[in-house]
Amino acid sequence: MNNHETPTPINAKFFSKGAIILSLFALIGALGYIYRLISGLDATTNLNNEYPWGIWIAVDVATGVALAAGGFTTAALADIFHRDKYHSLTRPALLTAMLGYTFVVVGLLADLGRYYNVWHPMLPSMWQGNSVLFEVGICVMIYLTVLYIEFFPIIIEKFKGHVKLPGLLSRYNSLVESFLKISHRTLYRVLSLFIIAGVVLSCLHQSSLGTLMVIAPYKMHPLWYTPILPLLFLLSAISVGFPMVIFESILSSWSFKLKPELKTLASIAKYTPILLFCYLSIKIADLAIRNAFDYLLEINIQSIGFILELGIGVVLPMMILFQRKKRYSINYLFLSASCIVFGILLNRINVFLIAYTPPFSTGYYFPSLIEIAVTIGLISGLILVYRFMVIHLPVISIERVKFNVISKKHESKSTIKG
Amino acid sequence: MKKDRRNFLKLTTAAAASMVPAVSGASIEHDEEDFNDVFGVLVDTTVCIGCRNCELACNQENKLPEQPNGHFSDKSVFDSRRRPSVESLTVVNSCMDSNVLDDLNGKSYGKIQCMHCNHPACVSACIVGALTKCNHGVVAYDAWKCIGCRYCMVACPFQIPAYEFKEALKPRVMKCTFCYDRIHDDKKPACVESCPVEALTFGKRGDLIKLAHSKIETDPDSYFDHVYGESEIGGTSWMYLASNEFINYDLPKLTEEHIPSTTESIQHGIFKSFLPPLALYGFLGLIMHSIRQDEKKEAETDEQS
């Protein structure tokens, strides 16, 4: 890579104040998670026969998958459409996607009544081609593998040339070294095949996640029930891809006291308002065709949820990002990216929980403390692993001349290059 | 899939025999005919006396948790509306509309349980095929395959499947089994056999539909002119007669459209012989290789200006 920016391990302490707080959350979440695996769903969640799905599906799985869309959208832009100036964003996006999907699977396990059977869909004898969930499951599984393969070169880059295994294992040093060399050579040749596969797989399961709820026409509130839910899910996932990359790039530059890559981020943000505009138009047209506008006039949790989702998640950030000046303001950029990320969260919660109104319902669903703790714990855990990896692996690109904090970065960079 | 192919064969032979060109309407007719041979039950709510013997029989047959003595003769349960649960795969409720109830001297009951749909949404939804529609009409559940995702519960339009949330390690989806084993032994389902007033009639679905219509014809004053389950969401094995609106017996208003038809057509549209994904793959590959250096430069100068 002969860009002026090279991915470099960040020189920072792992346990900052924030990281300690996050560790605490992650620990509480882990305890809740273990308690769930041992004692069952009734003891730990507020799920019941009327509301079989809760936040572990709506947030951990559905939102998790959507927010990992930065991986495939950035890869498509930088690698397939060859917009090379965005290359510095691909690695953080890839790492987010890889960790995002890993945690989606971890979160899903907590929700499955028989989590130890999670491998069943892999058995050809149990394949069920009519099931939307089967397609989602298989796609996510393959995509996760693709993500690990795509990430592997970063690991190679870190260790190739200086493998030092501890103790007895050191006799295998040269073996591992040659393995890395061979995989380095082959991977660089075929990586583009995997990158395209990643984009195709993403399109498939991002949309299929929307198809999931199409099977419940009599339970879904008309504001969200539409046969084009898969299209809306795909489009919203594509729309949130870049904002998610912006969101976390700014966050990590603040956390590591680096200079934000404002120019690149502002530049990639120019696509977002156009995507949001398409999404909004389709959403409104869909409401109009289905004559569902009247439901917005009723004041209830559904209409409020719908208006918040579109207002905060789509309209507001679209208005901000259409203005070039505001795209180049770090605060506005961060605000609008946060809005879109929040909007996706709201949308997935709306589709899977708020819109879900079973005909014979006696109550409503609100997550239990343990459900919330596990969800927050998973998010915290993800951020911590992300932090750990960018400290130790060449993921984030730092502008060589302009960075302002510690000069040690030069050293770490040169060791990597050497 | 097998069923479809069989339908198609039957359809073509039938069309050839009668020398009538196959039209799209014919296939719909035939579809229904195909479900005439499966087993079903006709529930006549105008006959039911609310004795709850069926609940007791179901409890014993399926080895559900034992209930205290006198539990199944307690009539106070009719003061509230109950749903099938992990402890009771079928429940009897009284008519929901109090006006109707007054007209009928406070006595009108309906039993609910899994409807054993002709085109079950739960079967279409199930990720591992733990739920299957058997040839004799039963929608059967195989707990061994189940991963516990509960998508079947989301999919069911009748809101029937219950889940053993309290079970820590081996929770099951619980719903009416249609007494699968009894049917295999040429016996009636336990609930049907236990009914003292023949409010439940077990038989071939086609015969039951005829029976239902003849009942309505001979006594049009006692019946609402509709057989619930004959065509709802493509038909169900369990069907109902009532003197008033079916919603009063917790039977939701549904159209004739099969529930899985939308999702399955989206699903199979996307995966038709894997062509659309492969086409997308090829298309992206083409883009990746056709965009050349000059375009790269163009992109770089794009935002700088």
Same domain, B109 and B230: yes
Domain presence at residue B215? yes
- pLDDT, averaged across chain A: 91
Same domain, B191 and B286: no
Domain presence at residue B40? yes
pLDDT level of residue A315 (50, 70, 90 thresholds) = very high
Q: Could you tell me the residue ranges of all domains in chain A?
A: 5-121+219-417
Q: Which of A47, A83, A208 sits opposite B299 (nearest CB)?
A: A83
| Range from A102-111, A175-184, A367-376, A379-388 carrying the lowest mean pLDDT | A175-184
Contacts of B252 in chain A (CB under 8 A): 218, 359
Domain presence at residue B204? yes
Task: For B279, name the nearest residue in chain A, comparing CA atoms only.
Answer: A200
Place of tokens 């920072």: A12
| Range from B86-100, B155-169, B261-275 carrying the lowest mean pLDDT | B261-275
CATH code of B91's domain: 3.30.70.20
Contact B136, B200 (CB under 8 A): no
Mutation for testing the A interface, residue in B175, B284, B301 having most A CBs under 10 Å: B284
pLDDT of A25 > 60? The answer is yes
Same domain, B296 and B150: no
pLDDT level of residue A164 (50, 70, 90 thresholds) = confident
Distance CA A241, CA A323 (A): 20
pLDDT of residue B304: 56
| Range from A163-167, A253-257, B186-190 carrying the lowest mean pLDDT | A163-167
pLDDT of B3 > 80? The answer is no
pLDDT of A122 > 70? The answer is yes
Helices (H), B185-244: 190-194, 205-218
**Residue B249 is encoded by which pair of tokens?**
């017996």
pLDDT of residue A398: 78
A126 contacts B146? CB cut-off 8 A: no
Distance from CA of A152 to the nearest CA of B (A): 21
Contact B149, A112 (CB under 8 A): yes
Same domain, B83 and B194: yes
Mean pLDDT of A244-249: 95
Same domain, B60 and B18: no
A215 — contact with chain B (CB < 8 Å)? yes
Distance of CA A220 to the CA centre of its chain: 25
pLDDT of residue A403: 45
Same domain, B101 and B193: yes
Distance CA B121, CA B82 (A): 23
Complex prediction ipTM: 0.90
pLDDT tens for B201-236 read 999 999 999 999 999 999 999 999 999 999 999 999
Same domain, B137 and B238: yes
Domain count, chain B: 3
Same domain, B24 and B115: no
- Give the Cα-Cα-Cα angle B26, B29, B30 (nearest 5 degrees): 85
Distance of CA B265 to the CA centre of its chain: 19
Domain presence at residue B305? no
Same domain, B214 and B75: yes
pLDDT of A98 > 80? The answer is yes
pLDDT of residue B29: 41
- Reference A156, options A116, A201, A128, A187; nearest CA is A187
pLDDT of residue B125: 96
Mean pLDDT of B3-9: 45
Same domain, B159 and B206: yes
Domain presence at residue B241? yes
Distance CA A350, CA A344 (A): 10
pLDDT of A382 > 70? The answer is yes
**Domain that includes residue B7, residue range:** 1-30
Domain presence at residue B143? yes
CA end-to-end span of chain A, whole Å? 14
